[in-house]
Amino acid sequence: GIQVEQSPPDLILQEGANSTLRCNFSDSVNNLQWFHQNPWGQLINLFYIPSGTKQNGRLSATTVATERYSLLYISSSQTTDSGVYFCAVERARENFNKFYFGSGTKLNVKP
């Protein structure tokens, strides 16, 4: 398999603060996704980002595949950003596409 490590495991922010979440992976990947699991349990797609940088409103993500990491930036955080953020990777050396998930970063944004 492939190891996917996310840091930090837990994060508490005051509303309006910025943060960076990190995802390290142990092998070459074809694809990488960031998800937000909201307090109701729904998994929401944030970015599909095997390499490069993407931005969507207050969120942006950067994947440096050659160095085996991805970063998720949250700017001007809001209470609705609370939840668990997952990174999931698709390993390059496997014949069958499947995502390996990290253990997540639990974010709590306080008003």
Q: Which residues bind another protein (CB under 8 A)?
A: 30-31, 33, 35, 37, 41-43, 45, 48, 84, 86, 88, 90, 96-99, 101, 103-104
CB nearer another protein, residue 6 or residue 77: 6
Which are the contacts of 51, defined by CB distance < 8 A and separation ≥ 6? 63, 64, 65
CB nearer another protein, residue 14 or residue 45: 45
In the complex, the smallest distance separating the C-beta of residue 92 from another protein, rounded to whole angstroms, is 12
CB nearer another protein, residue 17 or residue 106: 106
CB nearer another protein, residue 55 or residue 76: 55
In the complex, the smallest distance separating the C-beta of residue 24 from another protein, rounded to whole angstroms, is 17
35 to 55, 87, 90: CA distances (angstroms): 14, 6, 14
In the complex, the smallest distance separating the C-beta of residue 16 from another protein, rounded to whole angstroms, is 27
**CA 67, CA 22: separation in Å to the nearest integer?**
13
56 to 21, 40, 61, 68: CA distances (angstroms): 16, 22, 9, 22
**Nearest to 79, CA basis, from 16, 35, 7:** 16
